[in-house]
Amino acid sequence: TVQHQGGNGVCFYTPEMALAASRRTLLTMHLAHAVQRNELNVVFQPIIEAKSGRVAGAEALLRWSHTNLGAVSPAEFIPIAEDSGLIVSITDWVLEAVADQVDRWHGEGVQCGRVFMNVSGQQFLRGRLTTRLAELMKEKPHLAGLIGIEITEQAAVRDLKATVQAISELASISVETAIDDFGTGYSSLSYVQQLPITKLKIDRMFVDGVPHNRKNSALVRAVVGMAHGLGLTVVAEGVETLAQRDFLTDVGCDLLQGYLFSQPVPPKTLVILIGDQPDSWKSSPRIGSMVP
């Protein structure tokens, strides 16, 4: 199909594009009711302290399950939520769900460390999140130190000044901000260094290749070294193998997260994992050659 768009701009639509557009429309339509129809839930992936193998915290990840469409991946519906504005109510919902869960765990004496939720760039700078978190911290002071926010590197450097402001405000109410997907945003550590953050998450893309891919390995090693030089804690995402775990521990990654330890799981399962961490979660110490 050829469509004329005024002037001499001509646009070609393929059947695939039409199909993708109708899927988007369909998802947007259904997503608008997801909160109200109780179709959302949050799962938690443990974040492991590399040296001890202990659960040091968790990342909250959103799940959407629709009666007819089944499970839709956040990689697909989050961009749709962002474009349609639905992200505002969805972020509100996630925040309440995470705060509720952390509150409940605190009451039950479950020590899960800090729980990080993901926030889209636009939502992070809007101020609504900080306001609500400040309210929550006032109502429930015991939540202090137990909630964190992840924003992507890309979102963080888009408006550096506003991001610095938002991170500082959150820090003042003891909400920690971590930079997610580091390495995929085409910015440099010297740029990120201007942010008052304490934690950097190296994207799965780089973790994938270690220890066999020499370039990825060199990159991870360099990022960890520089991040530590800047006083930042480093988390490696997407750890799937023992070889990756050992390499990452050896180069000094502080925290590890990935399917090797656990998939994102429902709250009850996370509590079981916290109470009973397998020995294999602890990295076997290396002698000699692997140590930088």
Q: Which spans of this chain sit near ligand C2E (rule: CB under 6 A)?
A: 45, 61-62, 73-75, 78, 94, 117-120, 150, 180-181, 204, 237-240, 258-259, 264
Nearer to ligand C2E (CB atom), residue 62 or residue 192: 62
Q: Is residue 150 near Mg ion by the rule CB under 5 A?
A: yes
Which amino acid belongs to residue 248?
Answer: L
Shortest spacing between CB 184 and Mg ion, in angstroms = 8
Q: What sign does the CA torsion over 227, 228, 231, 237 have?
A: positive
The interface partner of residue 75, options being Mg ion, ligand C2E, none and the CB cut-off 5 to 8 Å by kind, is: ligand C2E
153 touches Mg ion (CB under 5 A) = no
Q: Find the largest Cα–Cα distance for the chain.
A: 68
CB of 204 to Mg ion, least distance (A): 7
Binding of Mg ion at residue 45 (CB under 5 A)? no
Least separation in angstroms between residue 240's CB and ligand C2E is 4
CA torsion angle for 209, 263, 245, 197 (degrees, to 10)? 90
> Quick check: 253 and 224 in contact, CB under 8 A?
yes
Question: Contacts with Mg ion in 172-191 (CB under 5 A)?
Answer: 180-181
Residue 179 interaction partner, one of Mg ion, ligand C2E, none, beta carbon < 5-8 Å per kind: none
- Residue closer to ligand C2E by CB (options 10, 227) is 227
CB of 201 to Mg ion, least distance (A): 5
In whole angstroms, how close is the CB of 227 to ligand C2E at the nearest point?
17
Cβ closest to ligand C2E, residue 74 vs residue 225: 74
- CB nearer ligand C2E, residue 10 or residue 235: 235
Q: Which does 94 bind (CB under 5 to 8 A by kind): ligand C2E, Mg ion, none?
A: ligand C2E
| Torsional sign, CA 248, 60, 139, 179 | positive
